[in-house]
A and B are shown apart, each in its own frame.
Chain A
Amino acid sequence: MVMENKANEERIIDYLYGEMSTTDLAMFKKELAVNSELKRQLDDVSGVSGHLDMVKDREVVIPPVMIRRTAPKTKGAFSHGAFRWGLSIAASLLILMVAGYLMDFKIIKTKESTMIGFGEMNVKPELSELEVKQWIARAVDQQQKETSGAILTLQTDLETRLGESEKVQEQAWNKALSKQYVKQEEIMQLYVAQLNDSNKKMIEDFFLVSNQTQKKYMNRVLADFSDFYQKQRSYDLEMIQSNLGMLENSYSTRQLEQENMLASLYNIVKTQSK
Chain B
Amino acid sequence: MSLPDLASHHSEQMLMRAKLGDELSFNALVGVWYKRIYNFSYKYFVDHDMATEVSQRTFIKMYDKLSDLEDNSKFKSWLYIIALNVCREEGRKKSRVAKMFVSENDESNSPQQTEMVDSVAHTLEQAELSQIVIDSLNILSDEQKEVILMKEYEGLKFREIAEVLNVSENTVKSRLYYGLGNMKKILVKNRAFNESYGYGK
Contacts and interface: CB of A to CB of B under 8 A. Distances in A.
Secondary structure class of chain A's binding surface, majority of residues: loop
Contacts of A52: 133, 137, 148, 152-153, 183
Interface stretch (A25-33, A39-47, A170-178): A39-47
B112 interface: no
Given A9-B173, A13-B176, A51-B129, A44 B181 contact: yes
A58 B27 contact: no
Interface in B123-173: 129-130, 133-134, 137, 148, 151-153, 158, 170, 173
Contacts of A66: 23, 27
Contact of A54 (B42, B148, B199): B199
A41 B183 CA distance: 14
B181 A45 contact: yes
B199 A13 contact: no
A19 interface: yes
Q: Chain B at the A interface: mostly helix, strand, loop or mixed?
A: helix
A142 to B, nearest CB: 58
Contacts of A64: 27
A48 interface: yes
Contacts of A55: 43, 130, 133-134, 153
Contacts of B177: 9-10, 12-13, 45
Nearest to B27: A65
Contact of A62 (B31, B130, B176, B180): B31
A72 to B, nearest CB: 12
Interface in B1-40: 23, 26-27, 30-31, 34-35, 38-39
Contacts of B27: 64-67
A6 B23 CA distance: 48
B57 interface: no
A51 B151 CA distance: 14
A63 interface: yes
A47 B174 contact: no
Most buried by B among A47, A51, A58, A63: A51
A225 to B, nearest CB: 86
B174 to A, nearest CB: 6
A60 B38 contact: yes
Interface of A: 6, 9-10, 12-14, 16-17, 19, 44-60, 62-68
Given A49-B180, A54-B130, 17 more contacts: A9-B178, A10-B170, A13-B173, A16-B201, A45-B180, A45-B184, A47-B184, A49-B152, A52-B137, A52-B183, A55-B134, A57-B35, A62-B30, A62-B31, A63-B34, A63-B56, A65-B27
17 contacts: A46-B201, A47-B184, A47-B201, A48-B180, A51-B197, A52-B133, A52-B183, A54-B129, A58-B38, A60-B35, A60-B38, A60-B39, A62-B30, A62-B31, A65-B26, A65-B59, A67-B63
